[in-house]
Structure 1
Amino acid sequence: MNKPLLLSWLTAIIAVIGSLYFSEVMHYVPCTFCWYQRILMYPLAVFLGVAFYHQDSRIARYVLPLSVLGIFVSGYHIALQKIPALQEFEVCTSGVPCSQDYINWLGFITIPMLAFTAFVIITVSMIVMSRKG
């Protein structure tokens, strides 16, 4: 069994379920950057699931571009929420502002921080897996 692949897949599934929980159960309307993060995460749950089923460690070459881009998008989103000066350059001009914190657990855990953490776990797992194989 490929543990980094399993960890990546479970992380992606938890991220997808979490984002659906926030929007469908808690009724938090996703902002533009939240949608970008979903666009990058949702396919990862499918790709990694198929790769885990087939034990295909070559999936890293397809997953890494999405997960690394996800790190940058969610990292910028975190900065937008936590650095007031960046809010002047906010791209969310209609709907929910990207700088809005729906959750703020312990003063730093926000929805983009959760996405960032998931993307980092997936990225590191893929790097570890590709170096083993």
Structure 2
Amino acid sequence: MSEARRVSHRPRLLLTAATVVATVATAGSLYLSLGLGLTPCRLCWYQRILMYPMVVVLGVAAVENRPGVVRTALPLSVPGGAIAAYHSWLQVSQTTCGLGAVSCTQIQYRVLGLTVPNLSLVAFLLATGLVVVASTVRS
């Protein structure tokens, strides 16, 4: 494959990877609540509200090879990452959280030592990074 042809597929591959990240995060959150019966706190809901549409937005951008999706994806991923970072900080600091019936500081589940907000933060950071890099690669 020629270098020019390989370069033209890089944004699509990066956007596909971002779509996979958002899809895994969405499926994981649904499994935690529907499969394991864990009740999401209010901050978890905000993160879900920002992550779920990213599956569609990034999926369409990957199919259409549109690195310009950065203008649509960042308004979802950056606030989502900020909420996940704040949520992670709340759990470490053990500060009380008066949002909703389920405390945001309660650690209900861990995966590889990471709490659910930690996993959400990783997903938002990965998706953001992949989208930003895709927008800078020449197609």
Length-normalised TM-score, structure 1: 0.91
Partners of 1:105 and 1:49 lie apart in 2 by: 26
Q: Which runs of 4+ in 1 moved over 6 A?
A: none
| Equivalent position of 1:118 in the other structure | 123
Per-residue Cα deviation, 1:29-75 (whole angstroms, up to 9, x for no partner): 11000000000000000111111111111111110121111111000
Partner of 1:72: helix, strand, or coil?
A: helix
Q: What is the Cα-based RMSD across aligned positions, in Å?
A: 1.2
Kindly tell me the number of residue pairs found equivalent between the two proteins.
Answer: 128
Partner of 2:98: helix, strand, or coil?
A: coil
Q: How does 1:1-133 map to 2 (within 5 A)?
A: 1=9, 2-84=12-94, 86-87=95-96, 90-92=97-99, 94-105=100-111, 107=113, 109-133=114-138
Partners of 1:116 and 1:91 lie apart in 2 by: 21
- Whether contact under 8 Å (2:13, 2:62) holds in the other structure is no
Rg (Cα) greater in structure: 2
Length-normalised TM-score, structure 2: 0.87
Structure 2: state its 5+ residue gaps: 1-8
- Whether contact under 8 Å (2:68, 2:135) holds in the other structure is yes
